[in-house]
Amino acid sequence: MERICPDDCVQTVFDIDLEGLWSRGVRALIVDLDNTLLAWDQEEPPEALLHWIAHVQKRGFQMRIVSNGVPSRVRRVAQTLGLPAITQAVKPRKRPFLRALKDFGLKASEVAVVGDQLFTDVLGGNRMEMYTILVNPVGHRELKHTQWVRRVERRLLRRLFRKGLLSERQCQIGVQR
């Protein structure tokens, strides 16, 4: 169960405690694209997201998108956001996370993974012993497979809470999905 337990849960990327991450030694963010930064069917980022990315980078964090999404779309959006991207990641495999670590020139303990799914983003980050942050999905339209996975994730989040692995606040954020 610990493998799929995020270190933190927040409503959106805008709610991430950057100061807290910095104080714990985190210097880079691996960020999922679909339903973490943008809805999976959205191409144009809102101005607020562009400002947030600029703020994160100005604060000193390196950033990289790591996505299982359609490579051509991931590259287009990443270019618009001004971020490097690793496409065809096949998360939760370790390879894309190892590549990001190499690109950052950092240790796993200095990197946080931000994403909207337990079985890809959180599991992948936890396998690498990175700090993991689960966010609620940005969009509500999803593929049928993802809708099914969300139901399983909500059950698991409640179970993590009952086992004392998540706080009530974290569980409430996570199950609002």
* 65's tokens: 């998108």
Residues listed for the chain: 177
DSSP 91: T
Q: What's the mean pLDDT in 60-74?
A: 96
In the predicted structure, residue 177 carries a pLDDT above the cut 70:
no
pLDDT number for residue 88: 95
pLDDT at 159: 79
pLDDT tens string 18-47: 999 999 999 999 999 999 999 988 889 999
Helices (H) and strands (E) in the chain, counts: 7, 6
Question: What's the confidence (pLDDT) of residue 154?
Answer: 77
71: CB partners within 8 A, 6+ apart: 87, 88
Q: 3-state class of 90 per DSSP?
A: coil
Domains, the chain, ranges and CATH? 2-175 (3.40.50.1000)
| The pLDDT value given to residue 51 | 98
How many percent of the chain have pLDDT more than 90?
71
Q: What pLDDT is stored for residue 167 in this prediction?
A: 73
Reported as a single tens digit per residue, the pLDDT across 120-172 is 999 999 999 999 999 988 867 666 666 667 677 777 777 778 777 767 776 66
3-state secondary structure of 132: strand
Q: What is the dihedral of CA 162, 164, 168, 171, to 10 degrees?
A: -70
Cis peptide before 46 (omega within 30 of 0): no
How many percent of the chain have pLDDT more than 70? 88
What's the mean per-residue pLDDT of the chain? 90
